[in-house]
């Protein structure tokens, strides 16, 4: 199987004259502790880190060194901060960190909050990351139309989880055009100048505070009778995706339908094999953003808590490369079996398409 161990990881990138991102392990799962393995990876070597770490004290994965069974929420946050510090190092300057985190309810003050209170683990972590110079670009909501039923009677059922998009640079890569959605309405062209002026006209309204945005970006579209951008609207920060069903023995599977749009937007379809610059989309097609005029390779996403392999499956469907880290040996085997099954399925689909084209 395509897996390495943290003790047998061969630093081929150190013996090569090629850039580190061109010789990084790809489409493999490294078995070991996330922090230990990350410390062995070269700096500025991956495009995106996308992961869903174990939530605090919700599941016991029964493996020594696991995340999530710490004695307090503060310890859980501290361990994830160490991991994120290493992710900041291995990410390229244009890279992103996408974090799906869930919260827990306290059953005793020793866990970090009064009994029955939310522990606010995701909020504590992202505030600490902001203090470590991470730029928080989105605090999105994964809304579950099929949430797990709850028997509680003194609070609302939990039907969503946060997804954070964090970057290290204001100029991080983000391909919005790849995930735009169709507009729901149409507009007639605005021909009356006074009416057009109320949509902005280059002037901020008197009620606008110093951090208020501007709606000038829609002025041209409305003047032309368009509802907005010709490729569609920004999908927004509420992602409605049903929880995943998986036949394997993993109790918290990351849904493919949730991962795919996140990967499309954050992982470049292509990057320069010489300088690592992400290709930029122009007229729906990616083009080089550098002057190297050389070869390219797919963007690379790293999941330091690979689990059942959902990130890898989604990446391969989209033509991106991936690298996983997983502590539990059984999950490594499970993930690779799932990845190989997905590859076989895609090959069968391509075979049938080819047969139809050939009239067979």
**Distance between CA atoms of residues 195 and 214, nearest Å:** 17
| Rounded-to-integer distance, Cα 134 and Cα 166, Å | 6
- DSSP designation for 327: S
Side-chain-facing half-sphere of 341: CA atoms under 13 Å: 12
48-87 per-position pLDDT tens digit? 999 999 999 999 999 999 999 999 999 999 999 999 999 9
Spatial CA neighbour of 51 closest among 293, 227, 309: 309
User: What number is the average pLDDT over the span 20-39?
Assistant: 92
Per-residue pLDDT tens digits for 198-256: 544 556 778 889 998 776 666 777 777 788 889 999 999 999 999 977 666 545 588 99
115-127 average pLDDT score:
98
Q: What is the pLDDT of residue 359?
A: 77
Average pLDDT over residues 13-39: 82
| Domain 3-181+236-341, second-level architecture | 3-Layer(aba) Sandwich (3.40)
> Which pLDDT tens digit goes with each residue over 280-338?
988 778 999 999 998 999 999 999 999 999 999 999 999 999 999 999 999 999 999 99
Percent of the chain whose predicted confidence (pLDDT) is above 90: 73
- The secondary structure of residue 346, as a DSSP letter, is H
- Picking from 51, 8, 22, 10, the residue whose alpha carbon sits closest to that of residue 325 is 51
User: pLDDT at position 187, please?
Assistant: 64
Q: What's the mean pLDDT when you consider all of the chain? A: 89
What is the per-residue pLDDT across 183-195, written as a single tens digit (0 to 9) for each? 987 765 555 544 4
* CA 139 – CA 128 distance, rounded (Å): 14
Cβ-in-10-Å burial (0-12, 13-18, 19+) of 339 comes to: buried
Other Cβ atoms closer than 10 A to 219? 18
Q: Which residues contact 331 (CB under 8 A, 6 or more apart)?
A: 250, 306, 307, 308
- pLDDT for 23: 77
Q: How far is CA 319 from CA 2, 19, 288, 315, in A?
A: 18, 21, 17, 6
With cut-offs at 50, 70 and 90, classify the pLDDT of residue 12.
very low
pLDDT (average), residues 154-181:
97
Instruction: Pick the closest to residue 249 from 188, 335, 185 (CA basis).
Output: 335
Percent of the chain clearing pLDDT 70 (strictly above): 86
The answer to whether residues 50 and 311 touch, using CB atoms and an 8 Å cutoff, is yes
Nearest to 215 by CA among 200, 205, 228: 200
Whether residue 143 is predicted with pLDDT greater than 60 in this model: the reply is yes
Name the residue with higher pLDDT: 199 or 143: 143
Spell out the alpha helix ranges (H) of 91-146. 121-131
Sign of the CA dihedral with 88 first, then 94, 95, and 101 last: positive
Q: What are phi and psi of 131, to 5 degrees?
A: -70, -15
Determine the Cα–Cα distance for residues 221 and 190; give it in Å rounded to an integer: 9
Q: Where in the chain is the domain with CATH 3.40.50.150?
A: 3-181+236-341
- Residue 322: enclosing H or E segment and its boundaries? strand 321-326
Look at 1-5, 156-160, 310-314 and tell me which has the smallest mean pLDDT.
1-5
Predicted pLDDT of residue 192:
56
Instruction: Give the alpha-carbon dihedral of 315, 27, 30, 248, to 10 degrees.
Output: 60
Residue 110 Cα to chain centre, angstroms: 32
C-alpha span between 347 and 229 (Å, rounded): 36
> What pLDDT does residue 193 have?
47
At residue 163's C-alpha, the angle toward residues 129 and 258, to 5°, is 145
């Amino acid at each position: 199987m395509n897996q390495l161990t943290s003790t047998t990881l061969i630093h081929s990138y150190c013996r090569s004259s090629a850039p580190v991102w061109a010789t990084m392990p790809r489409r493999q799962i490294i078995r070991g502790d996330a922090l230990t393995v990350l410390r062995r990876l070269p700096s500025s070597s991956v495009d995106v880190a996308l992961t869903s770490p174990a939530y605090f004290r919700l599941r016991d994965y029964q493996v020594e060194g696991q995340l999530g069974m710490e004695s307090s929420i503060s310890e859980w946050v501290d361990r994830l901060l160490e991991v994120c510090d290493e992710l900041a190092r291995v990410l390229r300057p244009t890279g992103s960190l996408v974090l799906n985190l869930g919260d827990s309810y306290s059953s005793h003050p020793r866990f970090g909050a009064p009994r029955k209170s939310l522990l606010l683990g995701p909020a504590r972590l992202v505030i600490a990351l902001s203090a470590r110079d991470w730029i928080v670009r989105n605090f999105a909501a994964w809304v579950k139309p099929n949430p797990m039923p709850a028997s509680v009677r003194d609070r609302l059922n939990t039907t969503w989880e946060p997804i954070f998009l964090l970057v290290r640079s204001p100029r991080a890569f983000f391909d919005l055009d790849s995930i735009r959605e169709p507009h729901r309405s149409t507009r007639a062209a605005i021909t009356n100048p006074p009416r057009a002026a109320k949509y902005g006209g280059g002037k901020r309204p008197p009620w606008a505070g110093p951090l208020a945005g501007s709606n000038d970006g829609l002025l041209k579209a409305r003047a032309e009778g368009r509802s907005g951008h010709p490729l569609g609207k920004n999908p927004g920060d509420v992602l409605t995706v049903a929880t995943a069903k998986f036949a394997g023995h993993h109790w918290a599977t990351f849904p493919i339908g949730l991962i795919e749009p996140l990967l499309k937007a954050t992982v470049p379809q292509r990057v320069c094999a010489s300088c690592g610059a992400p290709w930029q989309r122009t007229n729906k097609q990616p083009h080089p953003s550098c002057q190297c005029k050389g070869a390219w390779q797919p963007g690379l996403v790293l999941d330091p808590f690979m689990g059942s392999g959902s990130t890898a499956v989604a990446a391969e469907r989209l033509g991106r490369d991936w690298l996983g880290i997983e502590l539990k040996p059984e999950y490594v085997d499970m993930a690779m079996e799932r990845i190989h099954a997905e590859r076989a399925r895609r090959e069968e689909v391509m075979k049938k398409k080819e047969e139809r084209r050939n009239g067979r």
